Amino acid sequence: MNTVDPHTLTGAYALGALPEQEAAQFTRHLARCPACDLEVRELQETAARLALAVAEVPPAGLRTRVLAALPEVRQLPPTPHRATVVPLRPRARRRPRLPYLAAAACLALAVTAGGLAVRARHEADQQRDRSTRAEQRAAALSALLAAPDATFHTTALKGGGSGTVVVSEQQGRTAFVYHGLPKLPGARVYQLWYSREGGMVPAGLVETGPGGGAVLLTGTPRGADGVGVTAEPRGGSSRPTSPPLALVPV
């Protein structure tokens, strides 16, 4: 307890999980800390009520066997610890079996802690996956911009903003670098397309933000004669639902 905040040990003390020396030190702390003393009493009462939920009826003959074994059991010496009374409403013919107090409380704490740990690990995994994908996209974009055969085609979009289509046949990749795209009305989004033989093939959505950004198109530019940009309903469309805001020959 020299390096641990004693206010964080109420749960362990209430369940009898502290070593003897630390328990004695914490008992002295309770005498001068009404907040911890109240919290320990509440935790012990909660543990006792949890135990009642799993209480079992003792088997027939248990009392007789226990009384018969008492003369052979060595009595433990008294401890200096302060006795703590757990206030419970009396119930007729119901005697909680004390070993279940700690077991039930520990089970409840373990389930809660386990759930929090799983959720934290899941969120950490998701964040790590997002970071990994972002790094991969950034590396692919940098390689595309530095490709020796990369071509750049810049155009203005109807309604505002500009975009540059970067194509590398060697890498089989295309990027759309945009700047100043205005927010579309309603729930509409910017969608990219490859133009092939008079048809339009979906190639991804543009997540606009302040200033500008860049997005890698899905699919390969091979066989495409242009890249188009349209305004589509949220989530995108399988085919354009509005005239193109830009159509860039490549």
> Phi/psi of residue 54, each to 5°?
-115, 15
CA atoms within 13 A on the CB side of 177: 13
Q: Look at the alpha carbons of 67, 71, 74, 77 in this order and tell me if their dihedral is positive or negative.
A: positive
Can you say whether residue 186 is alpha, beta or left, with left for phi > 0 and alpha for psi between -120 and 50 degrees?
Answer: left
Q: Please give the distance of CA 183 from its chain centroid, rounded to a whole number.
A: 30
pLDDT of residue 165: 93
Residue 86 has pLDDT above 90, yes or no: no
Tell me, what's the pLDDT at 208?
Answer: 76
CA distance 104 to 226: 67
- What is Dmax (Cα atoms) for the chain? 99
Domain parsing of the chain, residue ranges: 6-119, 151-249
Q: Looking at domain 6-119, what is its CATH homologous superfamily?
A: Anti-sigma factor, zinc-finger domain (1.10.10.1320)
Beta strands in 118-211 (DSSP E): 151-156, 162-168, 173-179, 189-196, 199-206
Tens of pLDDT, residue by residue over 27-79, are 998 889 988 888 888 877 766 665 555 455 666 666 677 666 666 666 656 65
**Please, is 178 exposed, middle or buried when counting C-beta atoms within 10 Å of its C-beta (0-12, 13-18, 19+)?**
buried
Alpha carbon separation from 85 to 42, 52, 97, 201, 240 (Å, rounded): 11, 16, 16, 75, 74
CA pseudo-torsion sign 231, 164, 199, 209: negative
Q: What is the mean pLDDT of residues 85-99?
A: 48
Separation between Cα atoms, residue 188 and residue 232, nearest integer Å: 5
Q: Report how far Cα 176 is from the mean position of its chain's Cα atoms.
A: 32
Pair 204, 214: CB distance under 8 Å: no
180: left (phi over 0), alpha (psi -120 to 50) or beta: left
Crossing angle of helices 99-145/34-53, nearest 10°? 100
Q: What is the tens place of the pLDDT at every residue in 97-146? A: 445 455 555 656 555 655 656 666 666 777 777 677 677 777 887 888 88
DSSP states along 202-226? EEEEE---SSEEEEEPSS--TT--E
**Considering the chain, what is the average pLDDT of its residues?**
77
Helix axes 20-31, 34-53, angle to 10 degrees: 120
Give the model's pLDDT for residue 100. Answer: 46
